[in-house]
A = this chain, B = another copy of it.
């Protein structure tokens, strides 16, 4: 009987790559194991699978009664593939809080407080003395970089860094450069139309009797929007007109550089310049150190407009 290896619903890169790599390890150890997925592959993961020439796992929408399954990257029923209650959980490899999976028999459960499941899977290759081939090394490295936002997440540990560096060395990959390309491939910028991007994470505020709109997108590199900046500005102008705003600001946050590019209509130039005490290039300004709409943008605009 084949044992399925599966990540959580709405799988991220860690769930897909850890499942593939752990199934590969189990196979090399002589088990019949097959990676599957509980949902759609996202753009970032697609880029990774293309790059390392690995096929996406088979989509399985629901487990059948008696299926044997290894869970990776989750250990809560609510996050698991449909049919989990009918299946037999044989192992769990994860890096989250301990959830509500119970088993009748003793199983291998390996949960570590590290930045990615891929980190744990890499350790398991090493502990079992199994060599990691280039394809698997690529997936594991990518999953670590994805889950830790290239080591920047507060969940990132020394073990994640050491293991990622070792995998990168094996592959001859520059972590910062590759990581940026990977995040760029998965960026929301490539997946939504300009107006969708502006209103994807969006709030309206009533300030001094008028309405302003403030959208935010968080990306790995603010330059990702260079090619669509004009389209975004057209979208901003249209939304202001359609909705009768005083103005609209789109905060394009660069997670790596830890700053934000503000985009706004030309006639809001003076408000932005005065409120933030900066020079602007007409319809944009880059604010170093600004990451939070709630804590660093709205209070400034509110102060300026209401006093």
Which residues of A come within 8 Å of B, CB atoms? 89, 92, 95-114, 127, 155
Contacts and interface: CB of A to CB of B under 8 A. Distances in A.
Contacts of A102: 97-100
B105 A97 contact: yes
A146 to B, nearest CB: 17
Contact of A98 (B97, B103, B114, B127): B103
Nearest to A91: B113
Contact of A106 (B95, B101, B110, B127): B95
B99 A107 contact: no
A155 to B, nearest CB: 8
Contacts of A106: 95-97, 111-114, 155
Contacts of A98: 89, 92, 101-103, 107, 109
A111 B97 CA distance: 15
Contacts of A110: 109-111
A103 B109 CA distance: 15
A98 B95 CA distance: 16
The complex is assembled from copies of this chain, and their number is 2
Contacts of A97: 102-107
A89 B111 CA distance: 13
Given A97-B107, A98-B107, A100-B100, 18 more contacts: A89-B98, A92-B98, A95-B106, A96-B106, A97-B106, A98-B101, A98-B102, A98-B109, A99-B102, A106-B112, A106-B113, A106-B114, A106-B155, A108-B113, A109-B109, A109-B110, A109-B111, A110-B111
A157 to B, nearest CB: 10
Which residue among A89, A102, A114 has the maximum number of chain B CB atoms within 10 Å of its CB? A102
A101 B97 CA distance: 10
Contacts of A155: 106
Contacts of A111: 106-110
Nearest to A96: B106
Nearest to A114: B106
A26 B12 CA distance: 34
17 contacts: A92-B98, A96-B106, A97-B104, A98-B107, A98-B109, A100-B100, A100-B102, A105-B113, A106-B111, A106-B112, A106-B113, A106-B155, A109-B109, A109-B110, A110-B110, A110-B111, A127-B127
Contacts of A99: 102
A105 to B, nearest CB: 6
Contacts of A103: 97-98
Sorted nearest first, the 9 A-B pairs with minimum C-beta distance are A109-B111, A106-B113, A98-B103, A97-B103, A96-B106, A98-B102, A97-B106, A108-B112, A97-B105
Contacts of A113: 105-108
A69 to B, nearest CB: 14
Which residue among A98, A111, A155 has the maximum number of chain B CB atoms within 10 Å of its CB? A98
Nearest to A89: B98
